């Protein structure tokens, strides 16, 4: 039986990130009619008193009728969608039980999304971060920008603690209105702080999509023998009997996931939980299909 | 104060380290795993870590306790002097431990012999003694063997002696052991004096008469007697060979062996078709079946053929039961050829009654030919050249005037090779000829004849009579007291005087009433010569017609042929003394017991008789008799030693009876073979703890398995 080309492990064997992205996106697009990402075209910004030189076509006649003065409508520059992909490179993203690490999965996902967006001439920027910003690539729409993004994704290395809320805080002012903010992380952080920060983005009418990447071992905790669990991000170490704590661990995890999902739902944040063993095309297809069918952020159930 | 019956097992507590080591190893063996979502584990741990660690700790403690408790329980702890109020409490004691080592203690149940239980019990008693207690250990078979005759404080010393004890083959004899114990305790200075009697309580070991006087001694010198009945208070059943009597009937070619065997059933159930097998010279020769009612016995005869001319040893055996030692009984049969005796008549007469050898021949073979073990052949001096001396064991030369020179040389070889020659004199004997031609045989040189009163008118004095010379010669041992007294009834009217000077190694067997020698023996290499200084017919004496003549000459022949012709050796019982007359020239014999231990036995003078006495008959079986490593014709090759079958009857003395016997004495009787029953006895005021600890161990095990599965 031939290997599934979208299997994360199979994809990870493809060294070229562009090839990976193309493989995923082409496969995905063949099943979707049009891009689900809709950028703003002409956006009304404010009224301005007419002055000579202004185009007459921009005079708001309704206002003139009411006020008997000439005002012209001022519009925002017409642009394509501006997307910021935040990719978490903290130490915990390097965890892999089998197959590929969360960062590898996240990188391929980010590459695929970048490819997809750039293909429709949207602007794509990227932020990689741990406890601080590792690399920031401002959004561009040129297709050659894809190479910059992919090269960055290829060279990402894990390290440091995760500080999502802090990073987001830094970008609240930098990111303009009506942008798409995609955060790919394992979100092993304080979710209250994260949600709190994301609300600032929402104020600016930014759309937020969270890809929550977790390893199957983190989701199922299949350990058997007594084990020293060591933190990847710091030097914490604990001896535990997995059988004894499994039930409690899963309960804690599910409580956290449920809380996270609920918070996202309440705040109209698109939330996607992805297991690193899930085929990337499947993840994307499901995600894009639902976005296409929904006008507002769709929350994966 | 807590003490232990098996303190060595406390070493098992070291095993408590095992769970700790396993715990540490497991901890060391724990694999490391870098994990991203460690926060959740930490959160989880916060909640369950205490529980988990507590559980681990509890399990570790439980497992450690499990091993410690198990080791302690196996060491069988007890609280010494627990709430006692007994006199012995905290008081130094003197103890005599009597271990019954009679052969009935070899009774084995499915596990061990009673003797093994006895040793274990003795060890327990010794282990229970404090450093202030002293003890002695003695055994109580029919000869009390003091193992440690003096009271000793050294427990190790006592235990070593108990360890070395072996079961014996003798019968129980409790009362001498009690005597010995009283004697030991009399010298003790402690206020509490105890006797521990560890026995199977068979009836035969108790001398009821002893208690008439012994009771008072026990009361005066012993504080308490503990009797530990290892039979568990139950009747013990046994089947034994209780009697065995071998017989031999001689025929011309082979001997017909016959053995009468009695097998007894000492149990309350009948026994059917019990096979008994007879072995001769290591080969099974016959078998038979016994049927016995409860407490009955049956006697059967077994016949078999024996090759003549040699000693035979054999045994009879029945299948094993709980007490196997009495299922085998040994016997020997000396099936040698008839003793061929040549009677050379130096004065044959037409009238047979007047012949020199008439009375002698009749005495040696009084009835039918085959009824006597002695076969006499009579010849005249003229016929002597045609006769080969080597065909005979004994040669009587009766009133022989002369002997051809060649025959003298043949006679010399005959004697040196172990043959015996008896010279009897008479009117044809020429002293000078005898002193010159036959001097190498004669124990004394012949002198002159002398005539005494009686029928002869020439007589000057009263006729002489016979009397045994001192010490009593083995030849005379078979004669009854009456016969020995009757020796004096024989009258001798004429005798040959001999020179007082002895030639070679000589010994007087009988002498005349005037102290002159009558029968004189001389050892010549392996053979013997006997000189009788009167006649074998009635010419010079009336001895041939006296009643003692027949046994005297027959015994003389048996003696000279090395005891051959006897039907069997009398049965020797274990610890009975074996006795055999000592030929005057013999300095030692060797006796090898069934285990191969060789003992050099030297003759002893008892009742004016030189005998070999051997009393080390400690075990049943065949005891080999050798001289310089070889069998000797004057002794049987073996003598059998068998058990005293009294001990085979395992009927027990009733406790009521025992209590009645020991009226007024502080007696405790316990019937338990296992220690728990005895603990009450041993400690008087002692509480055992091991049962409780074992229960606790079981509880811990249950809790442990419950927690570990959770």
Is the pLDDT at A153 greater than 70? The verdict is yes
Judgement on whether residues A253 and A158 belong to the same structural domain of the protein: yes
CA–CA separation, B235 vs B181, rounded Å? 28
Judgement on whether residues A59 and A168 belong to the same structural domain of the protein: no
Q: Per-residue pLDDT averaged across A241-255, rounded?
A: 86
Judgement on whether residues A161 and A235 belong to the same structural domain of the protein: yes
Whether residue A201 lies inside any domain: the answer is yes
Number of domains in chain B: 5
Q: Which of A20, A53, A75 is the last residue of a domain?
A: A75
Of A239, A241, A253, the CB nearest to B37: A253
Is the pLDDT at A212 greater than 90? The verdict is yes
Looking at CA atoms only, how far is residue A220 from chain B in angstroms? 11
Judgement on whether residues A55 and A107 belong to the same structural domain of the protein: no
Determine the pLDDT at residue A262: 92
Judgement on whether residues A68 and A172 belong to the same structural domain of the protein: no
Looking at CA atoms only, how far is residue B37 from chain A in angstroms? 6
Whether residue A154 lies inside any domain: the answer is yes
E strands in B402-452: 420-424, 444-451
Judgement on whether residues B461 and B551 belong to the same structural domain of the protein: yes
Does A244 sit within 8 Å of B30, measured CB to CB?
A: no
Does A229 sit within 8 Å of B38, measured CB to CB?
A: yes
SS3 B555: helix
Determine the pLDDT at residue A215: 92
Following DSSP, what letter does each residue of A271-284 receive, concatenated? EEEEETTS-HHHHH
pTM exceeds cut of 0.80: no
Does B26 sit within 8 Å of A253, measured CB to CB?
A: no
B334: left (phi over 0), alpha (psi -120 to 50) or beta: beta
How many Cα atoms occupy the beta-carbon half-sphere of A118 within 13 Å?
Answer: 28
Whether residue A1 lies inside any domain: the answer is no
Other CB atoms within 10 Å distance of the CB of residue B531: 28
CATH of the domain at A165: 3.40.50.410
pLDDT digits (tens, 9 = 90+) for B596-609: 888 999 888 766 66
Judgement on whether residues B275 and B348 belong to the same structural domain of the protein: no
> Cis (ω within 30 of 0) for the bond into B471?
yes
Determine the pLDDT at residue B575: 83
Q: Which of B534, B560, B586 is the last residue of a domain?
A: B560
Determine the pLDDT at residue A283: 76
Does A226 sit within 8 Å of B30, measured CB to CB?
A: yes
Confidence at A298, pLDDT banded by 50, 70, 90: very low
Judgement on whether residues B522 and B605 belong to the same structural domain of the protein: no
Confidence at A299, pLDDT banded by 50, 70, 90: very low
Burial call B590-619: b when 16+ CB within 10 Å, e when fewer: bbbbbeeeeeebebeeeeebbbbebeebbb
Is the pLDDT at A14 greater than 60? The verdict is no
Judgement on whether residues B103 and B155 belong to the same structural domain of the protein: yes
Judgement on whether residues A182 and A141 belong to the same structural domain of the protein: yes
Residues of A in contact with B55 (CB under 8 A): 244
Does B31 sit within 8 Å of A253, measured CB to CB?
A: no
Judgement on whether residues B98 and B71 belong to the same structural domain of the protein: no
Burial call B341-352: b when 16+ CB within 10 Å, e when fewer: bbbbbbbbeeee
Judgement on whether residues B357 and B506 belong to the same structural domain of the protein: yes
CA–CA separation, B68 vs A38, rounded Å? 77
Judgement on whether residues B422 and B545 belong to the same structural domain of the protein: yes
Determine the pLDDT at residue B677: 44
Whether residue A2 lies inside any domain: the answer is no
A:B CB pairs within 8 Å: 88
Judgement on whether residues B196 and B270 belong to the same structural domain of the protein: no
How many Cα atoms occupy the beta-carbon half-sphere of B142 within 13 Å?
Answer: 18
Determine the pLDDT at residue B231: 81
Judgement on whether residues A61 and A149 belong to the same structural domain of the protein: no
SS3 B436: helix
Judgement on whether residues A70 and A194 belong to the same structural domain of the protein: no
Whether residue A124 lies inside any domain: the answer is yes
Does A253 sit within 8 Å of B38, measured CB to CB?
A: no
- Answer for the pair B558, B636: CB distance below 8 angstroms, yes or no: no
Q: Per-residue pLDDT averaged across A53-63, rounded?
A: 80
Does A238 sit within 8 Å of B26, measured CB to CB?
A: no
* Candidates B22, B25, B30, B35, partner chain A, best to mutate (most A CBs within 10 A): B35
Judgement on whether residues B165 and B256 belong to the same structural domain of the protein: no
Determine the pLDDT at residue B680: 45
- Answer for the pair A100, A280: CB distance below 8 angstroms, yes or no: no
Number of domains in chain A: 2
Residues of A in contact with B39 (CB under 8 A): 188
Of A217, A245, A253, the CB nearest to B45: A245
Nearest to B290 by CA among B220, B240, B351: B240
Judgement on whether residues A71 and A171 belong to the same structural domain of the protein: no
Range of the domain at A166: 8-38+79-293
Confidence at A282, pLDDT banded by 50, 70, 90: confident
Confidence at A296, pLDDT banded by 50, 70, 90: very low
Nearest to B561 by CA among B334, B368, B365: B334
Judgement on whether residues B427 and B460 belong to the same structural domain of the protein: yes
Looking at CA atoms only, how far is residue A291 from chain B in angstroms? 30
Percentage of residues in chain A with pLDDT exceeding 70? 78
Looking at CA atoms only, how far is residue A135 from chain B in angstroms? 23
Determine the pLDDT at residue B43: 76
Judgement on whether residues A65 and A152 belong to the same structural domain of the protein: no
The chain-wide mean pLDDT, for chain A, equals 79
Low-confidence ranges of chain B (pLDDT < 50): 82-88, 144, 564-569, 676-681, 683-685
Whether residue B363 lies inside any domain: the answer is yes
Whether residue B541 lies inside any domain: the answer is yes
Judgement on whether residues A27 and A97 belong to the same structural domain of the protein: yes
DSSP structure class, residue A100: S
Of B27, B33, B55, the CB nearest to A229: B33
Of B29, B35, B41, the CB nearest to A95: B35
Determine the pLDDT at residue B686: 56
Does B35 sit within 8 Å of A229, measured CB to CB?
A: yes
Judgement on whether residues B556 and B418 belong to the same structural domain of the protein: yes
Of B27, B36, B40, the CB nearest to A215: B36
Judgement on whether residues A212 and A105 belong to the same structural domain of the protein: yes
Judgement on whether residues B269 and B229 belong to the same structural domain of the protein: no
Whether residue A298 lies inside any domain: the answer is no
* Candidates B33, B37, B54, B707, partner chain A, best to mutate (most A CBs within 10 A): B37
Does A93 sit within 8 Å of B48, measured CB to CB?
A: no
CATH of the domain at B393: 3.40.50.880
Does A239 sit within 8 Å of B52, measured CB to CB?
A: no
Q: Does B709 touch chain A (CB under 8 A)?
A: no
The nearest alpha carbon in chain B to A219 belongs to: B37
Helix axes B38-74, B690-709, angle to 10 degrees: 160
Q: Does B699 touch chain A (CB under 8 A)?
A: no
Flag whether the ipTM exceeds 0.90: no
Determine the pLDDT at residue B183: 85
Whether residue A142 lies inside any domain: the answer is yes
Query: Tokens in use for A248?
Result: 């409690």
* Candidates A230, A240, A257, A276, partner chain B, best to mutate (most B CBs within 10 A): A240
Range of the domain at B325: 238-336
Determine the pLDDT at residue B530: 93
Residues of A in contact with B47 (CB under 8 A): 248
Determine the pLDDT at residue B50: 67
Whether residue A129 lies inside any domain: the answer is yes
E strands in B582-677: 589-592, 598-601, 603-606, 609-614, 621-626, 638-642, 667-670
Following DSSP, what letter does each residue of B190-243 receive, concatenated? SSEEEEEEEE--BGGG--TTHHHHHHHHHHHH-SEEEEEETTTTSPPPEEEEEE
Report which of residues B366 and A250 the model is more confident about: A250
Other CB atoms within 10 Å distance of the CB of residue B152: 16
């Amino acid at each position: 039986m031939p290997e599934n080309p979208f299997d994360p492990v199979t994809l990870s064997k493809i060294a070229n990130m562009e090839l990976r992205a193309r493989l995923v996106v082409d496969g995905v697009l063949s099943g979707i009619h049009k891009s689900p990402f809709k950028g703003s075209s002409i956006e009304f910004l404010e009224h301005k008193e007419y002055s000579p030189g202004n185009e007459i076509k921009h005079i708001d006649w309704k206002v003139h009728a009411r006020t008997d003065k000439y005002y012209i409508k001022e519009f925002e520059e017409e642009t394509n969608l501006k997307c910021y992909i935040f990719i978490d490179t903290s130490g915990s993203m390097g965890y892999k039980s089998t197959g590929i690490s969360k960062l590898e999965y996240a990188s391929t996902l980010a590459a695929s999304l970048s490819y997809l967006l750039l293909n429709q001439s949207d602007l794509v920027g990227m932020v990689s971060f741990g406890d601080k910003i590792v690399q920031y690539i401002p959004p561009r729409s040129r297709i050659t920008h894809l190479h910059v993004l992919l090269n960055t994704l290829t060279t990402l290395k894990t390290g440091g603690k995760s500080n999502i809320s802090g990073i987001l805080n830094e970008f609240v002012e930098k990111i303009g209105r009506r942008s798409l903010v995609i955060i790919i992380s394992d979100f092993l952080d304080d979710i209250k702080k994260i949600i709190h920060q994301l609300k600032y983005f929402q104020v600016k009418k930014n759309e937020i999509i969270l890809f929550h990447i977790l390893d199957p071992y983190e989701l199922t905790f299949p350990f058997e023998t007594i084990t020293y669990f060591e933190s990847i991000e710091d030097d914490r170490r604990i001896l535990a009997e997995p059988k004894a704590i499994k039930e409690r661990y899963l309960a804690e995890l599910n409580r956290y996931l449920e809380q996270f999902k609920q918070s996202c739902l309440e705040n109209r944040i698109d939330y996607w939980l992805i297991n690193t063993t899930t085929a990337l095309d499947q993840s994307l297809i499901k995600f894009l299909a639902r976005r296409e069918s929904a006008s507002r952020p769709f929350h994966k159930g | 104060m807590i003490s232990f019956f098996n303190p060595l097992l406390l070493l098992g507590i070291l095993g408590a380290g095992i769970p700790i080591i396993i715990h540490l190893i497991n901890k060391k063996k724990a694999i490391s795993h870098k994990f991203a979502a460690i926060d959740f584990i930490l959160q989880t741990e916060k909640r369950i870590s205490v529980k988990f660690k507590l559980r681990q700790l509890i399990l570790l403690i439980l497992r450690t306790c499990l091993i410690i408790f198990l080791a302690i329980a196996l060491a069988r702890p007890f609280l010494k002097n627990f709430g006692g109020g007994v006199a012995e409490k905290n008081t130094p004691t003197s103890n005599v431990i009597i271990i019954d080592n009679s052969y009935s203690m070899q009774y084995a149940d499915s596990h061990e012999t009673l003797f093994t239980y006895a040793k274990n019990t003795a060890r327990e008693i010794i282990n229970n003694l404090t450093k202030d207690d002293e003890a002695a250990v003695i055994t109580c078979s029919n000869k009390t063997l003091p193992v440690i005759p003096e009271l000793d404080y050294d427990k190790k010393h006592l235990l070593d002696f108990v360890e070395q004890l072996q079961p014996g083959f003798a019968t129980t004899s409790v009362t001498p052991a009690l005597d010995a114990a009283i004697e030991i305790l009399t010298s003790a200075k402690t206020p509490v004096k105890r006797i521990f009697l560890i026995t199977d309580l068979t009836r035969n070991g108790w001398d009821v008469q002893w208690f008439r006087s012994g009771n008072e001694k026990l009361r005066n010198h012993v504080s308490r007697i503990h009797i530990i009945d290892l039979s568990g208070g139950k009747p013990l059943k046994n089947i034994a060979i209780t009697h065995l009597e071998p017989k031999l009937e001689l025929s011309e070619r082979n001997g017909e062996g016959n053995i009468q065997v009695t097998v007894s059933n000492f149990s309350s159930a009948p026994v059917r078709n019990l096979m008994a097998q007879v072995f001769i010279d290591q080969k099974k020769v016959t078998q038979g079946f016994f049927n016995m009612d409860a407490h009955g016995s049956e006697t059967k005869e077994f016949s078999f053929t024996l090759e003549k001319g040699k000693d035979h040893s054999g045994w009879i055996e029945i299948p094993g039961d709980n007490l196997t030692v009495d299922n085998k009984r040994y016997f020997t049969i000396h099936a040698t050829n008839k003793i061929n005796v040549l009677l050379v008549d130096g004065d044959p007469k037409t009238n047979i009654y007047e012949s020199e050898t008439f009375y002698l021949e009749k005495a040696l073979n009084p009835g039918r030919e085959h009824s006597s073990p002695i076969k006499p052949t009579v010849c005249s001096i003229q016929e002597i050249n045609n006769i080969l001396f080597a065909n005979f064991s004994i040669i009587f030369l009766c009133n022989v005037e002369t002997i051809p020179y060649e025959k003298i040389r043949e006679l010399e070889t005959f004697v040196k090779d172990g043959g015996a020659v008896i010279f009897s004199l008479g009117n044809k004997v020429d002293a000078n000829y005898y002193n010159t031609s036959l001097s190498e045989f004669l124990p004394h040189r012949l002198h002159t004849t002398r005539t005494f009163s009686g029928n002869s008118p020439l007589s000057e004095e009263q006729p002489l009579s016979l009397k045994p010379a001192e010490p009593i010669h083995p030849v005379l041992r078979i004669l009854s007291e009456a016969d020995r007294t009757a020796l004096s009834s024989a009258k001798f009217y004429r005798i040959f005087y001999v020179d007082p000077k002895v030639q070679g190694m000589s010994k007087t067997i009988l002498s005349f009433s005037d102290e002159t020698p009558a029968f004189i023996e001389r050892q010549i290499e392996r053979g013997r010569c006997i000189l009788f200084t009167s006649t074998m017919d009635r010419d010079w004496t009336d001895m041939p017609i006296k009643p003692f003549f027949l046994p005297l000459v027959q015994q003389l022949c048996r003696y000279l042929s090395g005891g051959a012709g006897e039907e069997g050796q009398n049965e020797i019982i274990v610890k009975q003394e074996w006795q055999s007359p000592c030929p005057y020239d013999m300095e030692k014999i060797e006796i090898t017991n069934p285990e191969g231990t060789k003992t050099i036995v030297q003759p002893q003078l008892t009742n004016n008789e030189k005998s070999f006495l051997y009393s080390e008959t400690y075990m049943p079986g065949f005891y080999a008799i050798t001289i310089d490593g070889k069998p000797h014709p004057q002794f049987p090759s073996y003598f059998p030693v068998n058990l005293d079958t009294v001990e085979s009857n395992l009927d027990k003395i009733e406790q009521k009876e025992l209590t009645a016997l020991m009226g007024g004495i502080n007696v405790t009787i316990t019937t338990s073979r296992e220690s728990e029953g005895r603990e009450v006895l041993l400690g008087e005021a002692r509480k055992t703890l091991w049962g409780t600890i074992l229960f606790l161990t079981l509880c811990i095990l249950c809790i442990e398995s419950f927690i570990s599965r959770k």
